[in-house]
A and B are shown apart, each in its own frame.
Chain A
Amino acid sequence: MISTKKFLSSVCALSLGLSALAGCSNESASNSTEDGEKSNKPFELSIMATLHTPEIPDERLELLLEEKTNTELDIQWVPDANYIEKVNTAFATGTLPMAVSISAQELGTQFKQAIRDDQFWEIGPYLDEYKNLNKLKPKVIENTKVDGKVYGIYQGRPLSRQGFIFRKDWADKLEISTPTNTDEFYEMARAFTEDDPDGNGKEDTIGLSDRSDLLYGAFKTVSSWFGTPNEWGLKDGKLLPEFMFDEYMDTLDFFRDLHKNGYINKDFPVTSKKDQQSMFKNGTSGIYVGSIGDVQGLYDDATKLNPDLEYDVQNKVEGPHGEFGIWSIPGFGSIMMFPKSAIKSEEELKKTLAFYDKLMTPEMANLLLWGIEGEHYEVKDGAALPDASIREKLDREVRPYLSLEVGEPDTNGRYEGFAAYEIKAKAEELIKDNENYLINNPVVTLDSETYTKNGERLKTIITDATYQYILGQIDKKGFETAVEKWKEQGGDKVIEEYNASYKKLKNN
């Protein structure tokens, strides 16, 4: 017994000594690389990445990536659906890899605490040592901050893709011009329902199809048209949640009318995205509010059913106050963070960052997103056109790697996608145009402990009341009761905490 113990402890001591030695040699090695790239030993890096495809990706791009960055990669692909579970398990068992991608939402809630408990490297001070990482947009970086410090490299997303897609052929037939304000929008929904836009003599169409999603469905976008703040807004110098603003009430009434008159699908609070889209594709509904980039996929499918169908897109819709605004996301979908449990030294961190710096060159960024030129895609008018005839191959070899992308086209210099369908090209332009009218969420970088702890639950109170009001199951008083309930169950505290945090940030 004693001898085994002794043996074990001596092994431990030995390995400790060795690792210390290794640490030393690592240091000297990295020093020499910085001096003149003498050492050619690949750097070993483990990454946990989200997998959006059903299959494990092909290794080809990974091997190319390794070769070009002189790295030995160990990528753990985790399906999107149980990604967070996997991260938590790895956390609990101390087996986190050196780089972990965390979504914007989880960053705001679950991981704040872990970051405060010093589980991740703060990378802010190192960023300007890298010429590519240094290009990342300061405005977006600002949004990824926790307690004013930068902990990750973001993966960019367009700030606002919101707008609406509608049946151009229906509108032409009924002689309706593209709506530019909420009244015209309402009129279009009415006409598409009542004036028989498909000309079959039956009342079988509805204006707008929506789904069970107040955020990415129609509601939030329309609320922006009415001038509602994005989640939180300032009223007399005080931060208040959006549903305490009159504009939110206006939006509610707008939807309640749409619903009462049958201009929107009756069961929208339980409709899936798939059903919503198929209503729009098969000619049941004529308006689709949401991400206007969807127009390509919708058009591809819809023309198979009805070759004569035409779509158009629009972003600007003014509210009764005569102005247009549109809500925005913080500009990133996820960030790469670096756990201290896996990256032990500053040297290692610097090498890891150097890898991500390389990923931000146009060559690498194109490889990650489009694959190999000439094989997976062609360059056409300065944009990438993926070979549509090898869709399955693309899904297996290229698509998964997009979750490794760093930054966005503006900063990493990769090609934009080539839009063969002109309306899609228009949608891309409108998405850029949206950036002039953004309504930002002011609490993204602010902090409320109550919200972190109980936010999801509190949100449900308001989400439920919003649906119930639109369905006509509660009246104005009922909605106000729900708001009171929200306040009592912790909302008041959330308001207080956000305002305190806001003041602190402003004074700094």
Chain B
Amino acid sequence: MDNDLVVVKKNSTVIPKASRRTELWKRIKKNKFMYLMILPGILYFLIYKYLPMYGLIIAFQDYKPYLGISGSEWVGFDHFKRLFSEPDFWFIFRNTLLLFVLQLVIFFPIPIFLALMLNEVRNQAFKKTVQTIVYIPHFMSWVIIVSICYVILTLDGGVVNGILESLGFQKINFLLSDEWFRPMYILQVIWREAGWGTIIFLAAIAAVDPQLYEAARMDGANRLQQMIHITLPAIKSVIVVLLILKIGDILELGFEHVFLLLNASNRNVAEIFDTYVYTTGLQQGQFSYSTAVGFFKGIVGLILVMFANWLAKKSGEEGVY
């Protein structure tokens, strides 16, 4: 009896592969115009995202531009071996990770707070003005932001050091020190991106059902309680998705930004993979090696995204896939 039951169960749950395929085919046929609509999207990804991956081959070659991909010598994992045996590898890895953790821990929650606060503003004109003002820095290039900071912080007549001096404090060498690099980096990121980051959260907050708030108010919940017990849980899934995507960008810390801040005195904390690729790879025309480093970066990012996604699913959230 027991055995029979098991057999029956197995048969009912496992649909033969062939029939599943035909079913999918049928569905596609039925909704062919719907599927046609995603074709441009698929083509876009194929042509601009997947096709260029062909170029990753050069990470395993001794690539020379004039010989091309087909003509260059195959060297296998040599470039990866070189990367991992590089004496600077671990300190670059550490710097990259640390900046990333700073972004995650300090920067990431700020747009959420800002969005929650903006949501509490009742005067619409004031709210819109503040929103516009906090969006503007996003449209400034890093060159401008770093130059402004340089002018403010320099020892040769900068405002901040002028104030410090007039108050009787020691001048601080912000630009040429390894202690100030990380605070400067993260503050600049916050200054530029925090406002822009609120957009998605504000949209998510706008979608919360107003009845929930009404009900809460009936029950005597104050503004803070409404925020904690209604708004935050309602946008939790958006937060999780953005967090996972952010983790995917782990090693995208902004080459331009870091490179502009980098100098002889802070290299030990500011050298990250992107700047390393630039000085070692591109400046010296070592395309294969640079590609290998970039490839490695991508793999680390992929693993972290998968891990974060798995973690999100474990804790009952939807994740990104």
Residues of chain A touching chain B, judged by Cβ–Cβ distance below 8 Å, are 84, 88-89, 91-92, 94, 109-110, 113-114, 117, 119, 206, 212, 265-267, 269-271, 279, 341, 452-457, 460, 463-468, 471, 473, 488-489
A467 touches B265 (CB 8 A): yes
Q: Which of B150, B156, B286 has the most CB of A within 10 A?
A: B156
Which chain B residues numbered 235 to 271 have a C-beta less than 8 Å away from chain A? Answer: 263-265, 267
Q: Which residues of B contact A454 (CB under 8 A)?
A: 280, 284
Q: Interface on chain A toward B: helix, strand, loop, or mixed SS?
A: helix
Complex Cα distance A455/B279, Å?
10
Contact B283 A471 (CB under 8 A): no
Residues of A within 8 A of B176 (CB): 267, 269-270, 471, 473
25 residue pairs A–B, Cβ–Cβ below 8 Å: A84-B285, A88-B65, A91-B66, A92-B66, A92-B68, A109-B285, A113-B64, A114-B64, A117-B67, A119-B66, A212-B263, A265-B156, A266-B154, A267-B155, A267-B156, A267-B173, A269-B265, A279-B156, A453-B286, A457-B280, A460-B267, A460-B279, A468-B264, A473-B176, A489-B87
Say whether B308 faces chain A, with CB atoms less than 8 Å apart: no
Q: Is B59's CB within 8 Å of the partner chain A?
A: no
Interface flags, B62-81, vs A, CB<8A=1, else 0: 00111110000000000000
Chain B contacts for A279, CB-based, 8 A: 156
Q: B264 contacts A269, CB within 8 Å?
A: yes
- Docked Cα-Cα span, A465 to B154, in Å, equals 21
CB-CB contacts below 8 Å: B157-193 with A: 173, 175-176
The 10 A-B pairs of least Cβ separation, nearest first, read A467-B264, A91-B65, A266-B155, A110-B285, A464-B264, A92-B65, A91-B66, A265-B156, A88-B65, A267-B154
Contact A473 to B265, CB < 8 A, known contacts A92-B68, A270-B176, A489-B87: yes
B residues within 8 A CB of A114?
64-66
Chain B, residue nearest A110 (CB): B285
Question: Is the pair B156, A464 in contact by a Cβ cutoff of 8 Å?
Answer: no
| Complex contact A267–B264 (CB within 8 A) | no
Contacts of A92 in B (CB 8 A): 65-66, 68
Task: Encode B128-169 as 1/0 by CB contact (under 8 A) with A.
Answer: 000000000000000000000010001110000000000000
Which residue of B has the minimal Cβ distance to A467?
A: B264
Kindly list chain A residues whose C-beta atoms are within 8 Å of the C-beta of B285. Answer: 84, 88, 109-110
Query: What are the residues of chain A within 8 A of B265 when measuring CB–CB?
Result: 269, 464, 467-468, 471, 473
| C-alpha gap A206/B157 in the complex (Å) | 12
Cross-chain contact of A270 among B66, B175, B286 (Cβ < 8 A): B175
The answer to whether A269 touches B263, judged by C-beta atoms less than 8 angstroms apart, is: yes
CB within 8 Å for A456 and B155 given contacts A269-B263, A341-B66, A467-B265: no
CA of A455 to CA of B280 in the docked complex: distance in angstroms?
A: 9
Residue of B nearest to A457 (CB): B280
Instruction: Point out the residues of chain A lying under 8 angstroms from B283, CB to CB.
Output: 456
Residue of B66, B150, B267, B280 with highest tally of chain A CB at under 10 A: B66
CA distance A417 to B148 in the complex (A): 39
Residue of B whose beta carbon sits closest to that of A91? B65
Binary contact track B287-300/A, C-beta < 8 Å → 1, others 0: 10000000000000
Question: Cα distance A142–B283 when bound, in Å?
Answer: 26
Evaluate contact between B284 and A456: CB separation under 8 angstroms.
yes
In the assembled complex, the CB of B286 is this many whole angstroms from the nearest CB of chain A, namely 7
Set B65, B263, B280, B284: member contacting A467, Cβ < 8 A: B263
CB distance from A233 to the nearest CB of B (A): 23
Closest to B63 in A: A92
Nearest CB on A from B225, distance (A): 50
- Return the chain B residue nearest A85 by Cβ: B282
Given contact pairs A267-B173, A456-B283, enumerate 13 new A-B contacts (beta carbons under 8 Å).
Answer: A89-B65, A91-B66, A94-B66, A94-B68, A114-B64, A119-B66, A266-B156, A267-B155, A454-B284, A456-B284, A457-B279, A457-B280, A465-B264
- Which residue of B has the minimal Cβ distance to A474? B265
- The residue on A at minimum CB distance from B150 is A270
What are the residues of chain A within 8 A of B287 when measuring CB–CB?
A: 88
- Bound together, the chains give a CA A466 to CA B280 distance in angstroms of 20
Chain A residues near B175: list those with CB within 8 A. Answer: 267, 270
A85–B138 Cα gap in the complex (Å)? 29
Residues of A contacting B66 in the complex (Cβ-Cβ under 8 angstroms): 91-92, 94, 114, 117, 119, 341
On chain B, the residues within 8 Å of A488 by CB distance are 87
Q: How far is the CB of A462 from chain B (nearest CB, A)?
A: 10
Smallest Cβ-Cβ distance to B67: which chain A residue: A117
Question: What's the nearest-Cβ distance from chain B to residue A21, in Å?
Answer: 28
Decide if A456 touches B279 in the complex (CB within 8 Å). Answer: yes
Q: Which B residues touch A460, using CB under 8 A? A: 267, 279
Closest-by-CB residue of A relative to B156 is A265
**Complex-state Cα separation, A89 to B65, whole angstroms:** 7
In the complex, the chain B residue whose C-beta lies closest to that of A271 is B156
Chain B contacts of A91 at CB under 8 A? 65-66
Separation in Å of the A151 CB from the closest CB of chain B? 15
Minimum C-beta distance from A456 to chain B (A)? 5
For B173, what are the chain A residues with a Cβ–Cβ distance below 8 Å? Answer: 266-267
Set of chain A residues within 8 Å of B264, measured between Cβ atoms: 269, 463-468
- Which among B150, B155, B263, B285 has the greatest number of chain A C-beta atoms within 10 A? B285
Given the complex, which residues of B lie within 8 Å of A265, measured CB to CB? 156
Contacts of A473 in B (CB 8 A): 176, 265
Set of chain A residues within 8 Å of B150, measured between Cβ atoms: 270
Residues of B within 8 A of A471 (CB): 176, 265
